[in-house]
Amino acid sequence: MSVIVTGAAGFIGANLVNALNARGESDVVAVDNLTRADKFRNLVDCEIADYLDKEDFRSLVARRAVARPRIVYHQGACSDTMAADGRYMLDNNFRYSLELLDWCQAQNVPFVYASSASVYGLGPLYAESRGNEKPLNVYGYSKFLFDQIVRRRLASFSAPVVGLRYFNVYGPREAHKERMASVAFHHFHQFRAEGKVRLFEGSHGYAAGEQRRDFIHVDDAVAVNLFFGERPASGIYNVGTGRAQPFNDVALAVVNALRAHGGEPPLPLAEAVADGCIEYVAFPEALRGKYQAYTQADLTRLRAAGYRQPMADVAQGVAAYVAWLLDNG
């Protein structure tokens, strides 16, 4: 039986297809919207059995004209947190997800879908509880709204449904995201172009560059997907490292990985700043009241579900990512 991956040409979706291939799965039906055609590059080294345009797929699902798959990994979404078209966001992230949920339940097919830590807004608590959820934008609201549907129906599901709340994911195959790509991606290109990376000055009670987030390598996010694909346990789970690390750590990891590539020794943070490798810029007014200065996934529910694998920290994950970027242009 096939595996359906939506958003298959996107960031997490393409890495998931690649990981499925590595496990011997080639009967993969890739679903995506290639209006922005450059995303096809993410699938060039992957093996798929078929490709379906997202709208064609929705039409087939509505007519119950899709062959029953073994599982659906629903990674397809508009992930632009600055997008202002609420009508499109709710159709693409909420309505589309609901259509697939209903279809999977009717077919008794496990459904693993992408949610987001954006549902927590400014925090400060990041456990999977309704009282902690205060999305700041329509993207976060679209994810929050679907999660509420899942919660209300949880006891009635005939097949497993798993929602994964991704924190700050970085890694290979994200170039098409452009301004929404990870800070590690942008730091890599800044340092290569200008010999420095830029971070925000102090804000929200943090010193310069010390604002903190839970940064998770895409390989770890994919591993959680595969875990629930094999041992589905219905519910909503955070997908992060459980560590809040400062943006300074990301910048320094990029700088030192590129210095090592050039045969130069690593620098401590103070020297990297003094040498101009890291530069602090004013916090933008447009982000005040809309910026997550601290995130840290509570992994209690994920660990209780049986996921025990360690997650790469920033130093490990960013070094691996920089090596991949250097090898893949």
CA-based angle 227:307:293, to the nearest 5?
105
Single out the residue of 197, 216, 223 nearest to residue 316, CA to CA.
216
Exposed, middle or buried: residue 97 (CB in 10 Å: 0-12, 13-18, 19+)? buried
Nearest one of 112, 86, 1, 10 to 54, comparing CA atoms: 10
Look up residue 272 and give its amino acid: A
State both tokens at 227.
């875990």
> Of 126, 139, 166, 170, which residue is the catalytic one?
139
Q: Which of 177, 206, 280, 291 is catalytic?
A: 177
In a 10 Å sphere around its CB, with 0-12 CB exposed, 13-18 middle and 19+ buried, how is residue 170 labelled? buried
- Is residue 177 annotated as part of the catalytic site, yes or no? yes
Catalytic residue status for 134:
no
| Per-residue exposure over 178-212, b if at least 16 CB sit within 10 Å of its own CB, e if not | eebbbbbbbbbebbeeeebbebbeebeebebbbbb
Which positions are catalytic?
A: 139, 177
